[in-house]
Structure 1
Amino acid sequence: MAVASHLDAEVALPPLAPGPHRARLGVISIVACFGGLLFGYDTGVINGALRPMSAALGLDALTEGVVTSSLVFAAAVGALLGGRLSDALGRRRMLVALAVVFFVGTVVLVLAPGFEAVVAGRVLLGLAVGGASTVVPVYLAELAPFEIRGSISGRNEVAIVVGQLAAFVVNAILGSALGHLDGVWRIMFAVCALPAIALFVGMLRMPESPRWLAARGRHDEALAVLRTVRAEDRAVAELAQIERAGDAPDGGRHDRLRLAEVLRTPWLRRGLLIGIGVGVAQQLTGINSIMYYGQTVLVESGFSAQAALIANVAPGVIAVVGGLVALAMMDRLDRRTTLLIGFSLTTLCHVLIGVASVALEPGHPIRPFVILALVVAFVGAMQTFLNVATWVYLSEVFPQRMRGLGIGIAVFAHWLANGAIALGFPSLIGAVGITGTFFLFAAVGAVALAFIATQVPETRGRSLERLEHELAAGRPLARRR
């Protein structure tokens, strides 16, 4: 009966209406997505900065891996802490704090005298990147109406790839114009300070998540926020729905779930494992081997170092194009369908890259261009069907009382897989070359495809409250009506 009454409440919600509140929601999403832009720039800038940094600081293969992966492993910790702290302190307050960490980490890195200080700066940036990777998607999902939640939440992933593309373009320009300077890598990193300042100033003027406020019994504040991003009748009805769903316990007590309780409850435990699986599967496609070591892959395929730096912009461009296409599809195509198409295409691209590297011997004149085209196709498929869908999915699948904990643990696992690739990819390429590396990614992709097909529930077209009730009722593969 509880589920039925909840569904009735959702059906009774007034439809979305045009008005200034829609523009306000757009402004909020743009400001919050500076966190995604920072995420993208800080993870992508190493792609072009690593070689001049290594030359200036005398890094070897091991220390290059440590510099690259230190941000990623720190991001795993940041994701875990960010989710929990955002539950306690609020989504908005956490984003303001993360902007400060982004700025401080950038200053440390730019002024670093040697390897140890570089790692310290990368760790600080990693903590901020990990925190942003959990807090921004949740903040956007909790503010967005369920009808357009996918396209609102997905803007963060588009911001991430825009940040990565910006890093690739900045690297190419600075590398070409100022490549003769020993400190050109410091300038590449310094650019990160600008969006950090924009995030800090912008979030000071943004509202708190209405669901976070309601979960603490602060109903009047939650309604005031909803009135700025919804029409009046929709705001009142939506707050009533949140309250009926039990997101705001009586007396204002925020009844957060602890990990032990999640692990004892079968449907919560299964939801947590699904979130972890989706996050890890996305990383094990090897997408960040291209984002971090794209120049290395292209040099291995036959490009010169300078040509590889410029050619590396192509995957960044297709990532942004794919992200925009994904954003347009996100409220039209089911999440499961999107993920299944994505893993099918990326696995096919892995196989083709492996085959091309076998069929075209090193030194063959068309080898680098064929591999570049296949890498671009892989990044395009990844961004169009997997990256945006993954982050939207993780922001949706957890119930309110464990949302910060759940996404924090899922993204923690995501970053650990990312870090393993960041640390091990240079050695893997050295040991088995492009051929073995991408055939290995293809095998992992086939396993991920089976996991998505058999275990992942649909989340599109449901409010966060309705989805929670459906998962609790044991309908894990329920399709949208």
Structure 2
Amino acid sequence: MGLQLERNEALAHEAISHVIQKYSPTGKRIGWMMIASIFIEAWDLYSISFLLIFLKQEFHPSALMLGFTAAGTQAGAVVGALIGGWLSDRFGRRKIFLSTMVMFIVLGLAQAFAPSMAALAAIRLLLGIPLGSDLAAGYTYIMESMEAGKREVMGNRWQAMFGIGEVVSIGVITAMFGLGVAPHLLWRIGLGLGALPALALLLLRLDLPETSIWLIQKGRFREAKAVTLKMYDDPLDMLPDTDVEMDKPKLTDFLRDIMSDRTKRRATIFSWVASWAQALEFSTFAFYLPIMFVLVGVSGIVATNFLSMGIYLIAVVSGLVGPQLLPRIGQRRLSIYGFSIVLVSLLVAAFAIESKTLWLVPVAAAAMLWGHYWDAENVMTIPSMVAAPRQKGLATGFAYIHNKLPAFIGIFLFPTFFGSLGQARATLFTAVFPLVGLMAAVFILPEVYGYVEVRSRRAGLATVDVAEVQP
């Protein structure tokens, strides 16, 4: 029985190595659909940053309650990322994708009817669960539906979609404010509107096929051959037309696989460290830019919204340029450049705030976000890309925990921290985070652009040869 399972595993890996090199227009469409789901999280995350001032006026919460309400989805996403990755590996990518959108529609609308700050905080905590689960399943879809070289470019586009979500949310909220929508209605409409793109994406996902790689890993060869024939016009002749039994993956298998290979180990550890660094640099400084601009006297509320929109339009350009540069400079240099730009920008911002050189603050903020979009682009792509096919959902979910946990901590605690140290010193302290990320990129991250895990059959068993396609 054990020998048969090993032979089935070897056969499955042969088929997966064949599929991952195939191109399909359907795979590209799926990739864009996965990245589009980032818009929903971006809307929720960024809109609340511009609505906090109205929530503060209506409910008069403490600094901790205000921070917890803003950060609630990040805490929920920690749970969602872990269970979403595990569930997508166990029950399939498609089921998780559809269920998360349904949950977001319901909970997104529920925000608009929250009777108190505590109720809103609780709803946002629950809302984070489908957000985290969706991204964990989404990155797995990208890595299993697109060919090597293209999949990491698509995966790195998530920051551009975040920027687009920011710009749209600012535009809508500013338009409502300019039209005279009452503040107690404005924040409810602003948060509830996030359900609309979720509904649109749910309808687009209804005809989404399960990935052939997941089906192969489950031994469901007949379905896998049908999906591959439809997507790639390839019948996978190396697989029999019958389903087979496969060994069930365990958490210990995931950790053993990551730690047993030097490239996987270093790439994964880097992604965890860099996730903390980029999440903390953003959730402390960039997330609170609207409030900071008002507090330090850069601009008023309406002017701040337009100024922030301009800064995030620059960030969108950065998010689009980074993935296009990836085939030329690779993942490692992209991270080094990104963290370096953020580090210098935060030092300049701290100096500008302390010296009251207010015109320099938004300039430094724009430069900081340009670099941030580069250093954050690959922290989800890399761990999902190097993980074994049967563990991509778990690897992606585990990586997203390292993204959302620091984001929750930063957003939750920074208002109190900001008030204790002052704007300039708090900004200067934030520069520690990109410095850590820069050191990780220089000393830990190997170049992994175009990484492909190839498995060959020797004596009936599966052995691993790692191939790296250099930029």
Residue of structure 1 aligned with 2:365, choices 364, 371, 375: 375
State whether residues 78 and 128 of structure 1, in contact with CA within 8 Å, keep that contact through their aligned partners in structure 2.
yes
Which range is displaced more, 211-220 or 289-298? 289-298
Equivalent residue, structure 2, for 1:301: 296
Counterpart check, 1:433 vs 2:422? yes
Equivalent residue, structure 1, for 2:283: 288
State whether residues 21 and 148 of structure 2, in contact with CA within 8 Å, keep that contact through their aligned partners in structure 1.
no
CA separation of 1:409/1:8 partners in 2, compared to 1, >3 Å: closer, same or farther? closer
Counterpart check, 1:115 vs 2:111? no
Give the whole-Å Cα distance in 2 for the aligned partners of 1:153 and 1:377: 23
CA separation of 1:223/1:170 partners in 2, compared to 1, >3 Å: closer, same or farther? same
Tell me by how many angstroms 1:221 deviates: 2.3
Equivalent residue, structure 1, for 2:107: 105
TM-score normalised by length of structure 1: 0.84
State the secondary structure of the residue aligned to 1:333.
helix
Q: Deviations over 1:190-217 (max 9, x none)?
A: 2111111112111111111221111111
Equivalent residue, structure 2, for 1:247: none
Tell me by how many angstroms 1:35 deviates: 1.9
Equivalent residue, structure 1, for 2:33: 31
CA separation of 1:464/1:208 partners in 2, compared to 1, >3 Å: closer, same or farther? farther
Residue of structure 2 aligned with 1:173, choices 165, 172, 175: 175
Which range is displaced more, 344-353 or 299-308? 299-308
State the secondary structure of the residue aligned to 2:250.
coil
Give the whole-Å Cα distance in 1 for the aligned partners of 2:196 and 2:231: 28
Equivalent residue, structure 2, for 1:333: 329
Residue of structure 2 aligned with 1:159, choices 153, 158, 161: 161
The structure 1 segments of at least 4 consecutive aligned residues displaced by more than 6 Å after TM superposition are: 6-17, 472-476
Tell me by how many angstroms 1:108 deviates: 1.4
RMSD: 3.2
Equivalent residue, structure 2, for 1:257: 250
Tell me by how many angstroms 1:346 deviates: 1.1
Give the whole-Å Cα distance in 2 for the aligned partners of 1:301 and 1:474: 56
Equivalent residue, structure 1, for 2:391: 402
Q: Deviations over 1:359-388 (max 9, x none)?
A: x23xxxxx33210111011101221x2222
State whether residues 150 and 331 of structure 1, in contact with CA within 8 Å, keep that contact through their aligned partners in structure 2.
no
CA separation of 1:58/1:156 partners in 2, compared to 1, >3 Å: closer, same or farther? same
State whether residues 278 and 376 of structure 2, in contact with CA within 8 Å, keep that contact through their aligned partners in structure 1.
yes
State whether residues 257 and 388 of structure 2, in contact with CA within 8 Å, keep that contact through their aligned partners in structure 1.
no
Give the whole-Å Cα distance in 1 for the aligned partners of 2:112 and 2:15: 53
Q: How many aligned residue pairs are there?
A: 450
State whether residues 32 and 199 of structure 1, in contact with CA within 8 Å, keep that contact through their aligned partners in structure 2.
no
State the secondary structure of the residue aligned to 1:207.
coil
Q: Please list, as runs of the form range in 1=range in 2, the aligned pairs for 1:4-403 lying within 5 A after superposition.
A: 21-22=24-25, 24-230=26-232, 232=233, 235=234, 251-259=244-252, 262=255, 266-267=259-260, 270=265, 272-284=268-280, 286-302=281-297, 303-358=299-354, 360-361=355-356, 367-383=357-373, 385-403=374-392
Letter in 2 for 1:316: Y
Equivalent residue, structure 1, for 2:403: 414
Structure 2 unmatched ranges of 5 or more = 1-11, 456-462
State whether residues 29 and 155 of structure 1, in contact with CA within 8 Å, keep that contact through their aligned partners in structure 2.
no
Which range is displaced more, 44-53 or 265-274? 265-274
CA separation of 1:222/1:178 partners in 2, compared to 1, >3 Å: closer, same or farther? farther
Equivalent residue, structure 2, for 1:442: 431
Tell me by how many angstroms 1:16 deviates: 6.4
Equivalent residue, structure 1, for 2:9: none
State the secondary structure of the residue aligned to 2:184.
coil
Tell me by how many angstroms 1:327 deviates: 2.6
